[in-house]
């Protein structure tokens, strides 16, 4: 009894001390070809890591593995100090994902989409939370519109709202600025900063080196499925970072 | 979230989408009615009488397959399935919700098809006995169709492969239910263990769907 209790306490302490993401030697083969090769990545609490790299460098695959949607072919992934392959539902409830695609139901309204995911995540007071999220993404006036009636940029904002509905501790965003106008992009940057200020962590795949330099603590440049450069973002001039990313690609 | 609430939320989502677009329900019902009319015209109304269950089954099969494909297609559009798989919901619950939605849609279209059969060709369906047999048959059919629609929708062949997977597997259901309906009209014909076959089939494929859906769902 005492041992079990002690193990529980030690486990909880380990989890508290652990980084949010610890990936060691992650590899992924798709269609007989390596997409990721031995990627190591650590993301701490309230940190933002930006993934840069050309198309096909492995950014989206890495994010899908981190989100637990795809299993790595080799390597080890710990999320919140837990083995990602074993603690599925527990971990998924702590992750929010903004994908390449909208991940929404087009025939449902904005409100119905958010309510559905609020219910699936077991939120109490779903209606109130939907109101908060609509305010966050600036879509109060379009709440009753079906997603298929919205422009790509507005639908992308709904997708961002869906990812934030359950207040995830880790936000994984795969080129989330795609299709957003300047105002929406600024709003999303502010959401990312707010998320970090609230203790959340972010892994952001982007092609925009300037954005990476503005938002991230660290930048990892992927090339051919490997991390070719992994450095703090602060010291980099965005133009130099973009040039470096292009040369590595 | 409790399992029952998750299933209810997901099934009502599917039904809301289908009733809102109405394309699928109309298409499926029209196809089913067409199949009944064409087959019964080809066979002649008199010959169609004792073959009512078989004719209706052909209509249910074709309309059901479209139903399974369409409800799964909703998940593939815009990668909505990925959002669903990321939620802390058991994959077996996703299967049951999809099955429930498919059953409701198939029951609705099945009623239209059956009524068309009765109106045009005066099928004597011995109402309650027929309804019980066909209900058990449709549960098994929906259990198989929902299960395989998950893998066929992610295959390169898409939904086209679904009838090839589902129709042969449903043969025991179709044979048992048509023989049972025939026996209701022909007292000299005896069918032993018909209900047993239907119930066993339903239980086996409901359990298989619950357990295997996790491995078939690929975002």
pTM, to two decimals? 0.86
Give per-residue pLDDT as tens, B86-108. Answer: 999 999 999 999 999 999 999 99
Nearest CA in chain A to B88: A89
Residue B73 has pLDDT above 60, yes or no: yes
Length of chain B: 219
DSSP H or E segment with residue A190: helix A182-197
Q: Which residue in B35, B32, B163, B208 sits closest to B107, CA to CA?
A: B32
> With contact defined as beta carbons under 8 Å apart, do A106 and A146 qualify?
yes
> With contact defined as beta carbons under 8 Å apart, do B16 and A112 qualify?
yes
Residues 6+ apart with CB under 8 A from B14: B71, B74, B97, B98, B101
Interface check for B13 against chain A (CB to CB < 8 A): the answer is yes
Question: A238: how many CB neighbours lie within 10 A of its CB?
Answer: 15
Across chain B, mean pLDDT equals: 86
> With contact defined as beta carbons under 8 Å apart, do A126 and A193 qualify?
no
Residue that has been written with the tokens 């059953």 in this structure: B103
Nearest CA in chain A to B22: A107
C-alpha to C-alpha distance for B78 and B90, rounded to whole angstroms: 21
Residue A13: per-residue pLDDT: 47
Interchain pair A93, B88: CB under 8 A = yes
Share of chain A above pLDDT 90, in %: 62
Q: Which one of A89, A100, A162 has the shortest CB-CB distance to B83?
A: A162
Interchain pair B82, A101: CB under 8 A = yes
Question: B100: how many CB neighbours lie within 10 A of its CB?
Answer: 19
3-state secondary structure of A188: helix
User: B138: which 2 tokens?
Assistant: 């449709």
Residue A31: per-residue pLDDT: 83
Residue that has been written with the tokens 């890495």 in this structure: A62
Interchain pair B9, A112: CB under 8 A = no
Q: Is A13 left (phi over 0), alpha (psi -120 to 50) or beta?
A: alpha
Give per-residue pLDDT as tens, A148-162. Answer: 999 999 999 999 999
User: A156: which 2 tokens?
Assistant: 């992308």
Distance from chain centroid for Cα A102: 14
pLDDT band at B49; cut points 50, 70, 90: low
Inter-chain CB pairs, A–B, below 8 Å: 77
Q: Which chain A residues are Cβ-neighbours of B16 within 8 angstroms?
A: 107-108, 112
Interchain pair B1, A99: CB under 8 A = no
Interface predicted TM-score (ipTM) of this complex, two decimals:
0.86
Give per-residue pLDDT as tens, B112-154. Answer: 998 888 877 676 666 567 888 889 999 999 999 999 998 887 7
Length of chain A: 249
Residue A8 has pLDDT above 60, yes or no: no
Mean pLDDT of B61-83: 92
Picking from B5, B15, B78, B90 by the largest number of A CB atoms within 10 A of its own CB, the best residue to mutate is B78
> With contact defined as beta carbons under 8 Å apart, do A51 and A39 qualify?
no
Question: A34: how many CB neighbours lie within 10 A of its CB?
Answer: 15
pLDDT band at B45; cut points 50, 70, 90: low
Q: Which chain B residues are Cβ-neighbours of A107 within 8 angstroms?
A: 16-17, 20-21, 74
Nearest CA in chain A to B4: A120
Q: Which chain B residues are Cβ-neighbours of A121 within 8 angstroms?
A: 1, 87-88
pLDDT band at A1; cut points 50, 70, 90: very low
Residue B158: per-residue pLDDT: 63
Q: Which one of A69, A104, A106 has the shortest CB-CB distance to B219?
A: A69
Closest CA–CA distance from residue A166 to any residue of chain B (Å): 10
Residue A46: per-residue pLDDT: 92
Residues 6+ apart with CB under 8 A from A165: A96, A114, A117, A118, A121, A123, A129, A130, A133
Residue A89: per-residue pLDDT: 81
Mean pLDDT of B43-67: 81
> With contact defined as beta carbons under 8 Å apart, do B68 and B146 qualify?
yes
Reading across the β-sheet that carries A82-83, which strands appear in turn? A33-43, A21-30, A74-79, A82-83
Q: Which chain B residues are Cβ-neighbours of A85 within 8 angstroms?
A: none
User: B149: which 2 tokens?
Assistant: 């629609």
Which of A170-184, A228-242, B17-31, B86-100 holds the top average pLDDT? B86-100
Q: Which residue in A166, A164, A159, A91 sits closest to A122, CA to CA?
A: A166
Residue A242: per-residue pLDDT: 64
Residue A2: per-residue pLDDT: 43
Distance from chain centroid for Cα B25: 13
DSSP H or E segment with residue A36: strand A33-43
Share of chain B above pLDDT 70, in %: 90
C-alpha to C-alpha distance for A22 and A44, rounded to whole angstroms: 9
Q: Which B positions 67-106 lie with beta carbon below 8 A of chain A?
A: 74, 77-80, 82-90
């Amino acid at each position: 009894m005492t041992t079990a209790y002690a193990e529980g306490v030690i486990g909880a302490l380990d989890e508290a001390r652990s980084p949010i993401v610890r990936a060691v030697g992650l590899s992924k083969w798709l269609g007989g070809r390596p997409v990721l090769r031995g990627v190591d990545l650590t993301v701490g609490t309230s940190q933002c890591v930006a993934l840069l790299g050309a198309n096909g460098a492995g950014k989206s695959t890495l994010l899908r593995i981190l989100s637990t949607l795809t299993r790595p072919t080799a390597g080890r992934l710990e999320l919140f100090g837990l083995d990602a392959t074993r603690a599925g539902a527990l971990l998924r409830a702590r992750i929010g994902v903004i994908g390449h695609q909208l991940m929404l139901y087009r025939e449902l309204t904005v409100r119905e989409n958010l309510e559905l995911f609020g219910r699936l995540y077991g939120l109490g007071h779903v209606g109130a939370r939907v109101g908060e999220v609509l305010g966050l993404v600036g879509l109060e006036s379009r709440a009753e519109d079906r997603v298929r009636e919205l422009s790509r940029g507005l639908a992308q904002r709904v997708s961002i709202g869906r990812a934030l509905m359950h207040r995830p501790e880790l936000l994984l965003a795969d080129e989330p600025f795609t299709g957003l106008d300047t105002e929406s992009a600024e709003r999303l940057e502010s959401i990312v900063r707010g998320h970090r200020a609230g203790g959340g962590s972010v892994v952001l795949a982007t092609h925009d080196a300037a954005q990476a330099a503005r938002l991230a603590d660290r930048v990892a440049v992927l090339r051919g499925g490997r991390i070719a450069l992994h450095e703090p973002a602060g010291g980099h001039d965005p133009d130099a970072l973009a040039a470096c990313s292009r040369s590595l690609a | 979230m409790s399992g029952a609430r998750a299933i209810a939320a997901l099934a009502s989502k599917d039904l809301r989408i289908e009733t809102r677009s109405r394309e699928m329900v109309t298409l499926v019902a029209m196809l089913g009615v067409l199949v009944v009319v064409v087959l019964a015209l080809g066979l002649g109304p008199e010959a169609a009488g004792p073959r009512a269950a078989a004719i209706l089954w052909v209509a249910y099969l074709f309309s059901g397959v479209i139903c399974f494909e369409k409800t799964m297609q909703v998940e593939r559009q815009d990668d909505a399935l990925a959002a669903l798989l990321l939620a802390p919901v058991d994959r077996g619950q996703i299967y049951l919700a999809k099955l429930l939605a498919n059953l409701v849609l198939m029951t609705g279209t099945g009623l239209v098809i059956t009524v068309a059969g009765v109106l045009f060709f005066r099928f004597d369906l011995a109402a309650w006995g027929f309804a019980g047999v066909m209900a058990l048959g449709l549960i098994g059919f929906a259990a198989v169709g929902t299960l395989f629609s998950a893998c066929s929708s992610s295959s390169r062949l898409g939904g086209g492969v679904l009838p090839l997977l589902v129709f042969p597997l449903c043969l025991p259901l179709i044979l048992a239910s048509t023989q049972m309906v025939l026996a209701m009209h022909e007292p000299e014909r005896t069918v032993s263990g018909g209900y047993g076959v239907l119930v066993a089939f339903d239980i086996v494929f409901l359990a298989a769907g619950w357990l295997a859906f996790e491995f078939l769902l690929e975002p």
